[in-house]
A = this chain, B = another copy of it.
Amino acid sequence: MFRDLSEFYAWFSERNKNNQYEVHRMPLEDMDGWQVAEDTGDIAHRSGKFFSVRGVAVSTDHRDTTDWTQPIIVQPEIGILGIIVRVVDGAVHCLMQAKMEPGNINLLQLSPTVQATRSNYTRVHQGSPVPYLEHFAAPRPGGAVFDTLQSEQGSWFLNKRNRNMIVEVAEDIPVHDDFCWLSFDQVTVLLKVPNLVNMDSRTVLSGIPFFFSGSYGDRVRLAAGSGVPGGALHSVEHLLSWFTEIKSRYSLSRAPVPLRDVPGWTRSGGVISRADGKHFTVIGVDVRASNREVGRWSQPLLEPTGRGVIAFIGRFIRGAFHILVHARTEAGTNDVVEMAPSVSCIPSNYDGLPPAQRPRYLDVVESAQDQDILVDVVHSEEGGRFFHAENRYLVIDAGDGFGLDAPDDYCWMTVDQLTGFVRYGNHVNVAARCLLSCLIGEPAALAAASS
């Protein structure tokens, strides 16, 4: 364990030096182990495992555009994202891993204790066993604090889910190379550092409040707890009814389309991209790493064409900080909608469009003054699937002047209420969960803003 964060940074930079990583772009057609199907153009691993890139036709009455076709990642397997926690001297500590992913900014980021696809842990690629996996497979020695199936990016993944787990161990366990214990307070500080705590860690950490509020609550110090004083504008019954109403009112259907027949997208120069430069490009990479299960491999990645904005617009209501949650439909959403941030988009996709055609509330985010910004940090999305996919995560206090009226598919709730829905899976989307994790250490900021 680190006495302070300078010790952590020394360790982390040592990890960088001790391991060699090289990532080079390569044409999709030349990737070792992957093939492009002659009839469809779909890209899949020769083993049939891992994931594939296919085309999907989307039809919905819950987006401005009602019908579109796009490439999408298909990965029906449920992977495990798991963090081991241990209470030492009354403080929660998390076992984190310094892990390279080819799409990561800085290559090395902090990942959960275990980050394994089913292909990984059933050892399809004949690589090394996954360390600590035994703590996440039943029967296991520790107790599950949080264990739920959660969706990932619906714009890029079709119905993708991973199992998010936090498991508590009572005894000390060996710490392997590339792993370290970080106190919960240290983690909350590192969540403010750009491109350091990876997406898989952030989504799992959105479940850490259950460690404090659940049956474990009486045993641990509520360090930087998630409690927000005051009453909520709406009851939980009202919030669930709002969510059910939107699910019942709207529809979302998807049908497979051969990747080579997706209009507006063309394969040229070894990548698949759009003529208008929007959304993302499908690229191939060649990877060499000294500390991964397999030392060298190729794979496709999705490269977004601009930095995204993921933001909650909030304000104090009855003394409690509320956030404006959006019931959002994306191409890959499993059940029509999930609860999402107030704003999530890549602003450059809307360059040159009149204000009415830009994403709702983006102007509120872009015009926010420094003193009204509670969270502002750039994080990367999963570097095993996305190349340099950065989002600016923001929480804005829009102030009492921001009206409480909102369109039907937005609803005000407290941070605690949204966190409560994280427990049940497929309620809160990955962008909102990652943004919640950035708020975990922020009660002081919220309280200061209210005074």
Contact = CB atoms under 8 A, between A and B. Distances in A.
Interface of A: 78, 138, 143-149, 163, 165, 210, 214-215, 235-238, 240-241, 244-245, 247-248, 408, 423-425, 427
B248 A236 contact: no
Interface-central residue, A163, A238, A245, by most chain B CB under 10 Å: A245
A48 B366 CA distance: 48
Contact of A237 (B138, B163, B210, B425): B210
A102 to B, nearest CB: 26
21 contacts: A78-B248, A138-B408, A143-B237, A143-B238, A144-B237, A144-B238, A144-B240, A147-B240, A147-B245, A148-B240, A148-B244, A149-B247, A149-B248, A163-B248, A165-B241, A210-B237, A214-B237, A215-B237, A240-B423, A244-B425, A424-B427
Contacts of A248: 78, 149, 163
Contacts of A423: 240
Contacts of A163: 244, 248
Given A214-B236, A240-B424, 16 more contacts: A78-B248, A138-B408, A143-B237, A143-B238, A145-B237, A147-B241, A147-B244, A148-B240, A149-B247, A149-B248, A165-B241, A214-B235, A215-B235, A215-B236, A215-B237, A240-B423
Contacts of A238: 143-144
Contacts of A143: 237-238
Nearest to A245: B138
A424 B138 CA distance: 25
A349 B274 CA distance: 58
A236 B144 CA distance: 10
B214 A147 contact: no
Contacts of A427: 424
Contacts of A244: 147-149, 163, 425
A320 to B, nearest CB: 15
A238 B142 CA distance: 11
A233 to B, nearest CB: 12
Contact of A147 (B78, B149, B237, B424): B237
Nearest to A234: B215
A208 to B, nearest CB: 12
Nearest to A214: B237
A249 to B, nearest CB: 8
A339 to B, nearest CB: 13
A408 B137 CA distance: 13
A426 B3 CA distance: 46
A254 to B, nearest CB: 14
Nearest to A210: B237
A158 to B, nearest CB: 16
A237 B146 contact: yes
Contacts of A214: 235-237
A2 to B, nearest CB: 28
Nearest to A162: B248
A83 B147 CA distance: 34
A78 B210 CA distance: 33
A122 B78 CA distance: 38
A149 B145 CA distance: 27
Contacts of A165: 241
Contacts of A424: 240, 424, 427
Nearest to A78: B248
Nearest to A148: B244
A408 B138 CA distance: 10
A200 B241 CA distance: 19
A165 B248 CA distance: 12
Contacts of A138: 245, 408
A353 B441 CA distance: 60
A9 B427 CA distance: 44
